[in-house]
Amino acid sequence: MNTKIDENVMNKANIWLEGNYDEETKKTIKDLIENNPDEIIESFYRDLEFGTGGLRGIMGVGSNRMNKYTVGSATQGFSNYLRKNFPDLNQIKVAIAFDSRNNSKYFAQITADVFSANGIKVFLFENLKPTPELSFAIRHFGCQGGIVITASHNPKEYNGYKAYCDDGGQIISPHDKNIIEEVNNINDIDEVNFNGNPELIQILNDDFDKIYIENIKSLSLSPEIIAKQNDLNIVFTPIHGTGVKLVPEVLKEFGFKNVHTVEEQSEKFGNGDFPTVKSPNPEESAALHLAIEKAKNIGGELVMATDPDSDRVGIAVKNGDDFILLNGNQAATLLINYLLTKWNENGKLKGKEFIVKTIVTSELLIDLANKYSVKHYDVLTGFKYIADIIKRLEGKEDFIGGGEESYGYLVGDFVRDKDAVISCAMIAETAAWAKNNGIGMLDLLKEIYVEHGFYKEKLISVVRKGKSGAEEIQSIMAGFRNNPPKEMGGSKIITIKDYQKSQTIDLVNNTTTTIDLPKSNVLQFFTEDGSKVSVRPSGTEPKIKFYFGLKGTLKSIDEYDEINTELQSRIDNIVKELGL
């Protein structure tokens, strides 16, 4: 055995071997100690923690894995927190949903059992449901919290546990830290009550979908245009996930009559092995391959793909006889441009409306808001911060829409998380509106660039797995923070924003100002030529992400390819300088 198992790992493993854990779990741990020390280290070197998406990890035995006991401990901690936070309520309530991943339904039942064992009323979805429907259910039933079992778009080995507050938004500070504290206070698995109370568990069947769909229908801004363009040829794929039922139903309710699903990826109950893709991530072109091929064969005009829990959507649009995939910034641009235009045309702008984006999302959304004198807010990465802005402004200002570059968007405020079901409907409506005006989605995007400037963005994710990877990511961030580059792409850096220190450093005037946002391990570098580079570790995956944003001038649509190439070359030079 070449790998030495350190004392901390062995101590944790022995707690599981000696504690009240099932025999199969103990047998697996013993086998790993004897035959796979690397895996036992990865399984026990730390405890799973809440990140920007909650609890997420590889399924398996151990404190650093998703299993019955880590899920049970998290739920016991959440139960303890809810009972302390709502001491005067006669009945605390939570809602629970799950996606198509392996073990998702099992983990959802474990979660329901622990909550109900602690006297908490549970609304448990009977079948797999999109994450945003869980957010909607929390608000509909007046719950104090909620859980959805999902690892979003991660590979099949993963599962996760997203925790929600009473507003339907994901847990934010200080609630996340307080819940973790409650979980950490559980020193023995015997403190977790797994003995569920069936009388406190109410099963929600598919009838609840109708309430959700009716709310989504109310968002439509151009029903008369959809009536004219109801034959828009749409190809949709749920990528083996929860969008399989609701997205086609909502498109039908909106009035679209020519919707085609990718049969190989549309199982009724999903498929947690995701057999047709390497990764069920609509950010990756390979995940949309089957849908694009189908669109080519049947004359499709718009392709949409949702991830397993249907909170993110990727789209592809016509480019001559072919299709081009739009990134999250481009899709957000088209959607927000449509919303603002129609709100203005429909006389809905009264001076108190707003949009929200994250700090790493395209600055073009700000230009669009300014065109219509609509307020905009920048928040940290993570849709929970968009939900928090909506909550804080509720009753004072009206939310139009918002989004983040990682393919998550929201329209309306009855859901408080990114919603791919809503987004698919509204993106299809945007395409119908563009077609009714005699233009395709790609040319519409180019026209926006001509008016506001050509914004070119690129994301590079550097994967560093496991304990050593986490340490390397910390080292990379420390290097940028302690020894920041002087220039990027031949252009001098003039401003640095350090969100962990809550500081904006003006290198030209040698001044420092405070950033009025929660602390976060994010760095942004701004150059003289208008470039922006952001660096942040992912809160849910073993990655460090580099976001590149450049701006150029597009005088006419005909110059698109030339300016696109020029901006891409500038990005490539910066990437090379950083050694990525």
Tell me, yes or no, if 152 is annotated catalytic.
yes
219-451 in CATH: which number?
3.40.120.10
Domain 454-578 has CATH 3.30.310.50: yes
Give pTM, 2 decimals.
0.94
Q: In what order do the strands lie in the sheet with 302-306?
A: 259-261, 234-237, 302-306, 313-319, 322-325
- Backbone region of residue 196 per phi and psi (left: phi > 0; alpha: psi in -120 to 50; beta: other values): beta
| Separation between Cα atoms, residue 475 and residue 22, nearest integer Å | 39
Mean pLDDT calculated for residue range 5-25: 95
Cis peptide bond N-terminal to 132, omega within 30: no
Per-residue H/E/C for 283-342 = CCHHHHHHHHHHHHHHCCCEEEEECCCCCCEEEEEEECCEEEECCHHHHHHHHHHHHHHH
Q: What is the pLDDT of residues 480-503, one digit of tens each?
A: 999 999 998 888 999 999 999 999
> In the chain, where are the structural domains located?
1-45, 50-205, 219-451, 454-578
Q: What is the pLDDT of residue 1?
A: 45
Tell me whether domains 50-205 and 454-578 share a fold. Answer: no
Strands (E), 464-569: 487-488, 491-498, 503-506, 511-514, 523-527, 532-537, 543-552
What six digits make up the tokens of 70?
């880590």
Residue 174 pLDDT > 90, yes or no?
no
Q: What single-letter amino acid sits at 169?
A: G
Q: Integer distance in angstroms from the first to the last C-alpha of the chain?
A: 34
**DSSP summary character for residue 189:** G
Q: What is the pLDDT of residues 338-375, one digit of tens each?
A: 999 999 999 999 999 999 999 999 999 999 999 999 99
The residues, ordered by sequence, that sit 6+ positions from 374 with a Cβ below 8 Å of its Cβ are 340, 349, 353, 354, 355, 400
Mean pLDDT calculated for residue range 462-478: 90
Strands (E), 134-268: 145-149, 158-164, 201-204, 234-237, 259-261
Q: What is the pLDDT of residue 50?
A: 63
The residues, ordered by sequence, that sit 6+ positions from 194 with a Cβ below 8 Å of its Cβ are 72, 110, 113, 114, 117
Q: What is the pLDDT of residues 94-146, one digit of tens each?
A: 999 999 999 999 999 999 999 999 999 999 999 999 999 999 999 999 999 99
What six digits make up the tokens of 505?
């450093």
- Give me Rg for the CA atoms of the chain: 24
Q: What is the pLDDT of residues 514-552, one digit of tens each?
A: 999 999 999 999 999 888 999 999 876 789 999 999 999
Q: Which fold has domain 50-205?
A: Alpha-D-Glucose-1,6-Bisphosphate; Chain A, domain 3 (3.40.120)
Catalytic residue among 73, 79, 135, 152: 152
Residue 2 pLDDT > 70, yes or no?
no
Q: In what order do the strands lie in the sheet with 375-379?
A: 375-379, 353-358, 398-404, 408-411
